[in-house]
Amino acid sequence: MIIKQLGRAAYVPVEAAMRAFTEARTPDTPDELWLVEHDPVFTQGLAGKAEHLLLPGEIPVVQTNRGGQITYHGPGQITAYPLVDLRRLGIFVKEYVFRLEAAVIQTLDHFGVVGHRVAGAPGIYVRLADPGSHAALTGPARDPFKGLGKVAALGIKVTRHCSYHGVALNVAMDLQPYARINPCGYAGLETVDLVKLGVSTDWATVAEIFGERLKAHLSP
């Protein structure tokens, strides 16, 4: 897998480049992993509902063909786009999602933060009161996000067995834009970053670790 650091970039041209790469690739095309820090943007997935976009203000809203609802991308967030031939890797979509989330969990663990999965809600969550706790989640069924914050969001597209779009991990962001949406369609869900969780680090440091964990999980 070839890892490419794209630096700071607008969302629309990167999405167009992902589609072009995926449409042009052949069974022999090496997989790539793009790591990027986007300019502020809200992106709406195929399942997105207008009522989850509360007050976008000056931040542009882009309709995409990935799965999921609405999310925010902005400076201080690592957005990772694995461009992977899943058939060549020998896995299906469910396993692919599991591996993306595993890479996030292992990256968080490097910084002393424990990431959790919530059934039926793709992405990775942390305990707000105790980000280092390994205790199993026991939130009430009526409010599975009680006491949790979302630190990573996931939205993918697979066409002809090849993936694009991907996963975003929050490092050191202005989190205010998340108050303008229902993140991933969940009203009141708090979104956090590593800095808010008490981790002192920077984008480049986390991106290197995250990129290597993704490469390990997505290479034969």
Distance separating alpha carbons of residues 29 and 160, to the nearest angstrom: 13
Concerning whether 162 is annotated as a catalytic residue, the answer is no
pLDDT band with cut points at 50, 70 and 90 for residue 115: very high
pLDDT at residue 57 greater than cutoff 70: yes
User: Would you state the pLDDT for residue 141?
Assistant: 60
Report the mean per-residue pLDDT for the chain.
93
Please report the pLDDT score of residue 142 as a whole number.
Answer: 64
- Which pLDDT score, from 0 to 100, does residue 80 have? 98
pLDDT band at 53 (very low <50, low <70, confident <90, very high): confident
Which of 140, 149, 156, 85 is CA-nearest to residue 113? 149
Cβ(149)–Cβ(118) under 8 Å? Answer: no
**Residue among 184, 194, 197, 218 flagged as catalytic:** 184
- pLDDT, one tens digit per residue, over 130-147 is 999 888 777 656 677 888
Which amino acid is present at 155? G
The pLDDT assigned to 169 comes to 98
Q: What number is the average pLDDT over the span 162-183?
A: 94
Q: What is the average per-residue pLDDT within 46-54?
A: 81
pLDDT of residue 140: 59
- This prediction has a pTM of 0.93
What domains are there in the chain, each with its CATH number? 2-218 (3.30.930.10)
Q: What span, in angstroms and rounded, lies between the C-alpha atoms of 164 and 22?
A: 7
